[in-house]
Structure formats: C-alpha cells, structure tokens
Amino acid sequence: MTDTHTGSAPGRVRAAFHDAGVTGWLHAVDIDSGAQVEVGADQPVCTASVHKLPLLVALHAEAAAGRLDLTEQVECPPAGRTPGPTGLAAMLDTTRLSLRDAAYLMMAVSDNTAADLLLSRVGLDAVNRATDRHGMTRTRAVHGFAEMLATMRQDAGPDGTRALADPHVITRLRALDPARANHSTPRDMTRLLGAVWRDETGPAEHGAAMRRVMGLQVWPHRLASGFPFDDVHVAGKTGSLPTLRNEVGVVEYPDGGRYAVAVFTRTAHTAAVLPAADAVIGTAARIAVDALRTP
C-alpha cells in the first residue's frame, strides 16, 4: 500500500507523523502473507540501538555454528564499561554472567555495556554477515556502541552533553548520519524480523530464544502503546539518539496474525522528552497493522 491519499493507510501514517512534529518512515508486513504498508520504506536511517537486533541474530548464528556457547560466563569489571543508564552500564561492581543473559540485558533494557561485551565476542564482521545472509543489502554495522558515543562526545565539543540542545551541534553529529553510522532501512529491518519469526535464521530453539528476549523489552511507550490489549503481544527493540526515536518489532494477535513493523522518526526538537514523538510510533504502527488486518 503506497497510495498517498490521506484516507489510505500510508496517508494516515504521514498525517500522524506530521501531527506529532516528526519526519517518519515505516514498513509493516504480514509475516505470513507478505501484504505490506510502506511510507519511505527504503529510506536509509540511523539505527541507534535498533542495531542490537542484528547483533542478537549474529550471536545466535555463531552459537548455532558451534563457535560459541551461549552459557559461556564472562566477567565485566567496572572500568571501561560503555556508558548508559541501564543494566551493566549503570552498575558499580564487577559482575559475572552468561552470554545469553548479557543478550537479555541488551534487548530488554538496551544495555550498552552488555551489547559491547557481546560485540567483542562476536565481531562486527559476523553482524554484517548475518544481515547479508538475509538479503539486507542496505544495512551495515560500522561501529560498536562505545565508539558511537565517543563520536558524539567529540562532535559535541568542549560543552559536552549540554551542547546537544543546540540544533547546530546536532547537524554535525556523525552518529546521526546514515552514511557514517550504523544504518538500515525500515524494509530491511522487517525482513530480519520476519526471518526471526519464521525460524529462518537458524535452528528453532535459537529463534525461540530471540523472540523471548524481544518480548521482555520493558519500554511500553512506543510500539506497544499502539496495541493496549491483554491478548495482543508486542516484541520489539527501541533505538534512541538526540532527535531520533525508533522501534522495530512484531505484533501478534490471538487469531494467529503476526506483523513485522519498523518505524524510524526524526524531529527538529532537541528535547530528550517528547511524548508525542514516542507515541506516534505506536499510532503509526497501529494504523498500518489495522490496514493489513482489514480484508
């Protein structure tokens, strides 16, 4: 569905983005029938923490190939942790945990330290092999999360995080440039979600493990906000950077319908808290999924 008429699903998605004060791109697809709704689905976008999903897929691919054991224990000392407000990144003492538990923290609370711990074990090449394997020709991991944050500090200059309120500073952040940061497209991300939900990424037990940790994500204010029903299950992964709010995920209905959705947004506002920009991700996803469910 690519019709631009305001009464069509794409038209209503565009109107929702406009009303929320964001520029947005969306791809939604029925995982089983292939029916789709798209709004700029092939637009290159910065993935931010959404790229933790390809890392998760690469981790399980390496485990399925016997190159690592998901129960392998790793130690994480306080020194050198990737900054972040959640999980290991926010802890003060040395921790020891398995690779699969680090994957849970990476996906459920978007733990940057856990992500870089896994990336150091898997490697960027494995992440890119995983996306290449699934035909994601416009998706590439170019750096880890510590490196991404380091470029932001460098680009912000001597005023540090305070400078991120300045729109002129925002324009020079490499982390917000798809040509220089981890990037993908909405269509590529729904392609990967569909592969995970159809067990095309490897043995079924690995698909089930990935779906489980995505279903444990704690943030209800974006994709899940569009589906406030006890019997509808939403599993997703958010991504956030200054002016960027993203989420990709799968919405599953009790009648068996399952829909992969990827929504990426950008706003001119530099405020860290913009409830309307968060909520429109759920609104846009609901419009698209309702259209896919309507005969």
What are the pLDDT digits (tens) for 77-112? 999 999 999 999 999 999 999 999 999 999 999 999
What's the average model confidence in pLDDT over 156-166?
Answer: 88
Mean pLDDT of the residues in the chain: 96
- For residue 113, the model assigns a pLDDT of 98
Could you tell me which residue, 2 or 99, shows the higher pLDDT? Answer: 99
How many residues in the chain?
A: 295
Q: Please, which contacts does 160-167 make with residues 24 or more away whose CB atoms are closer than 8 Å?
A: 164/242, 164/270, 165/270, 165/271, 166/270, 167/268, 167/270
Do β-strands 23-30 and 36-39 pair in parallel, antiparallel, or remain unpaired?
antiparallel
DSSP per-residue codes, 180-235: TSSEE-HHHHHHHHHHHHTT-SS-HHHHHHHHHHHHT----SSGGGG---TT-EEE
Distance, in Å, from the CA atom of 152 to the CA atom of 167, rounded to the nearest integer, reads: 14
- For residue 277, the model assigns a pLDDT of 97
Confidence grade of residue 254 (pLDDT, cut at 50, 70, 90): very high
Domain layout of the chain by residue ranges: 9-293
Res. 159: pLDDT tops 90 = no
Tokens of 58: 């690469």
Res. 3: pLDDT tops 80 = no
What is the CA angle 53-232-218, rounded to 5? 45
Res. 155: pLDDT tops 90 = yes
Res. 217: pLDDT tops 60 = yes
What is the CA angle 236-237-243, rounded to 5? 130
For residue 239, give Cα distances in angstroms to 64, 72, 146, 157, 262. Answer: 27, 27, 15, 24, 11
Q: Please report which helix (H) or strand (E) contains residue 238, including its range.
A: strand 233-241
What's the average model confidence in pLDDT over 179-185?
Answer: 98
What's the average model confidence in pLDDT over 252-279?
Answer: 96
Res. 6: pLDDT tops 60 = no
Distance, in Å, from the CA atom of 271 to the CA atom of 241, rounded to the nearest integer, reads: 11
Res. 119: pLDDT tops 50 = yes
151: how many CB neighbours lie within 10 A of its CB? Answer: 17
Write the Ramachandran bin of 55: left for phi over 0, alpha for psi from -120 to 50, otherwise beta.
Answer: alpha
Percent of the chain past pLDDT 70, that is, above it, reads: 98
Provide CB contacts within 8 A for 205, sequence distance 6+. Answer: none
- For residue 160, the model assigns a pLDDT of 84
Res. 148: pLDDT tops 80 = yes
Confidence grade of residue 1 (pLDDT, cut at 50, 70, 90): low
Confidence grade of residue 5 (pLDDT, cut at 50, 70, 90): very low
Provide CB contacts within 8 A for 66, sequence distance 6+. Answer: none
For residue 240, give Cα distances in angstroms to 10, 51, 163, 293. Answer: 24, 11, 17, 29
Q: Does domain 9-293 have CATH number 3.40.710.10?
A: yes
